[in-house]
Chains A and B, each alone.
Chain A
Amino acid sequence: MAGSADNWKTQIRKGYLELCILMLIRRHKKLYGFDLLEKLAMVGLDVKEGTLYPLLNRMSVDEFLSATWETENIKGHPRKFYALTKEGAKFLDEMRDEFDGMIGIFHQLRAKGALS
């Protein structure tokens, strides 16, 4: 039973995390991994580094994100900045609409006492 609940949480969190990542990148135009981790933590989403980077990698392969290497100063090391592609922006809109719909249903049900 506990295993099922954990699995459900993992699944829903994964989709939710993708949505949050795309929203944060849209707001800041471009972000690199470490920055993204900090910003997610600031809104209460603690994500492990070992989870975030593979996710960013996959979203780049899916062409929702574009990546560029930039070095802030001569002594600094290169950082991989992620920005939203056109596809990513479209996907984000779809995700947001879907999520809004789900939240609406959830609130409706809750108001009717289906959930205590």
Chain B
Amino acid sequence: MNTDPRIERYLSVLESRLKAFSVGDRAEIVTEIKSHVLTALERDPQANLDHVLAALGEPETVANRYLLERGLKPGKPPISPVVKWLVIGFLGTVAMVLLFAVFLLMKFSPMVNSIANQEGLEVLNELFDGESEESGVGRFALKGILSAGRFNGDLELSEQRAINVKFTNAKIETVKSEDDTFAWECDGVGAGAPESEVRGGVAELNLLRMIGAKCMLAIPKGAKLSLDGTNAKIDLDKPLFNVHARVGNGKVEITPEDGVDYKYELKIGRRKKMDFTSSEKPDAYLLHIELNNGRITRGR
């Protein structure tokens, strides 16, 4: 006996949603439901098949009831056509946006372009500003929010010969300046470039707006260098100047110049560091270093 394709379709969906059951169980359920439909049509020849199937409920819902009765996890309810089209529309929109993004990238390619004659860089077709500074050292800025690159500059020392350097996180190396100029060369990333000025006779270098500044400081002979910051690694290489450093955490390495006298005032926390031989000569350079935590070592 041929069964109506609508019944077969219904039973096929029902069977497909009962995968958690054994083959035998599935067959038994499907046969029983089919028997129910045929009995309903047999008892009332005027009955409409669609109504009989509708009275049973959606095959997915019936399958879920079987699963729930047996303590099994029900499948997802059937997706209505409206939801289906909404999902398709959303995915289509996402695909369009992605295509547009790819188009923009292709239009702005190459992503990074070196402009040799201007000593600069173009990124994403000038979306980012690459420029060159007078010193010949490149600077790179992103819409004025973030700067990265190398910054250098210098200040003439006044009679006070005082230099004040402020920082948050920095790696500082000092070298001897050949003349009476305090000069610096810093690499790093930050919200701005280093700021420098002579205020009250003190040459000030402010690195507070830089993250992880890495600076080489050229210090004139006999100057008074003040270092004030939170975290630092400081290399004092053969200093011919006085140092007053106050740092939260860090490491300071001192490499004394041969034949030069130094007066050491070294403190880590509350503990004085005494293993450096201090000179009491009046012309000895004073190296006053205070660390909250860290190490002070002798370089080679």
Contact = CB atoms under 8 A, between A and B. Distances in A.
Contact of B29 (A53, A55, A79): A53
Determine which residue in A49, A78, A80 has the highest number of CB atoms from chain B within 10 A of its CB, and name it.
Answer: A49
A54 B62 contact: yes
Looking at chain B's contact residues, is the secondary structure mostly helix, strand, loop, or mixed?
Answer: helix
Given A54-B66, A55-B69, A57-B66, A33 B57 contact: no
Interface of A: 32-34, 48-51, 53-55, 57-58, 61, 69, 77-80
A86 B43 CA distance: 32
A58 B69 contact: yes
Nearest to A55: B69
A57 B69 contact: yes
Contact of A53 (B33, B55, B61, B70): B33
Nearest to B52: A49
Given A53-B62, A54-B66, A55-B69, 18 more contacts: A32-B39, A33-B36, A34-B36, A34-B43, A48-B56, A49-B55, A50-B62, A50-B65, A53-B32, A53-B33, A54-B62, A54-B65, A54-B69, A57-B29, A57-B66, A61-B70, A77-B35, A80-B31
Interface size class, chain B: 20 to 34
A58 B57 CA distance: 19
B66 A48 contact: no
Nearest to A50: B57
- 4 closest pairs, A vs B, by CB? A50-B57, A58-B69, A54-B65, A54-B69
